[in-house]
């Protein structure tokens, strides 16, 4: 039997380490964040009513790290010593995901969620900026974010990171209306 090799990637910002795949020991914190009504009301997956549903999502985050033609990277956001001194918090506090349209595509999308305890501190913007740089390193040519219509905080994060409002809205698989923003790779 062939042993599968995991592709671990660690990125850093001044306040955070971003690591993919997320760690098994973070499952309880991930479940806490995803099942928080403030978070789930801004995410397409909707309300998390069981640990089983969260476990299924969690396994996808990890399984992606074993693919030879990796299509998706879900980076856990972990506090660094600098942030820990400020807050006293040392833990997983959210994630930023990057997904190709297909394994061979140079187009992709980004998604993110942060524990509401840390909203308003620029965490999503800071971490998204680092994952965007990673996308350019991986030769993506185009990125999209698609926050739910009315999610003004995520729209501000997109605009802060240079995304352009396309003026288009689409209906997601679950009937939720999403607002499309795009960013083209620098030349």
pTM for this predicted structure: 0.89
> Is the Cβ–Cβ distance between 142 and 184 less than 8 Å?
yes
| CA nearest to 73, candidates 108, 106, 43, 45 | 108
| Dihedral sign (CA 130, 163, 95, 6) | negative
* pLDDT per position as a tens digit, 128-161: 999 999 999 999 999 999 999 999 999 999 999 9
Can you give the residue ranges of every domain in the chain?
9-141
- In this prediction, residue 4 carries a pLDDT of 59
CA dist., res. 65 & res. 78, Å (int): 18
* pLDDT per position as a tens digit, 8-30: 899 999 889 999 988 888 889 88
The CATH architecture one would assign to domain 9-141 is 3-Layer(aba) Sandwich (3.40)
Structure tokens at 47: 């309300």
């Amino acid at each position: 039997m062939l042993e599968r090799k995991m592709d671990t990637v660690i990125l850093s910002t001044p306040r955070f380490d971003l690591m993919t795949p997320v760690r098994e020991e973070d499952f309880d914190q991930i479940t806490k964040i995803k099942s928080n009504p403030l978070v789930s009301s801004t995410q397409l997956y909707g309300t998390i009513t069981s640990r089983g549903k969260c476990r299924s999502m969690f396994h996808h985050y990890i399984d992606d790290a074993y693919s030879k033609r990796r299509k998706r990277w879900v980076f856990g956001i972990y506090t660094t010593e600098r942030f820990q001194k400020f807050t006293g918090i040392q833990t997983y506090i959210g994630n930023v995901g990057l997904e190709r349209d297909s394994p061979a595509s140079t187009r992709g999308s980004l998604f993110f969620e942060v524990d509401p305890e840390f909203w308003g501190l620029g965490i999503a913007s800071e971490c998204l900026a680092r994952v965007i740089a990673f996308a350019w390193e991986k030769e993506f040519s185009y990125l999209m974010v698609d926050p739910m219509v009315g999610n003004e905080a995520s729209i501000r994060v997109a605009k802060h990171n240079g995304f352009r409002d396309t003026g288009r809205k689409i209906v997601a698989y679950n009937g939720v209306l999403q607002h499309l923003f795009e960013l083209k790779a620098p030349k």
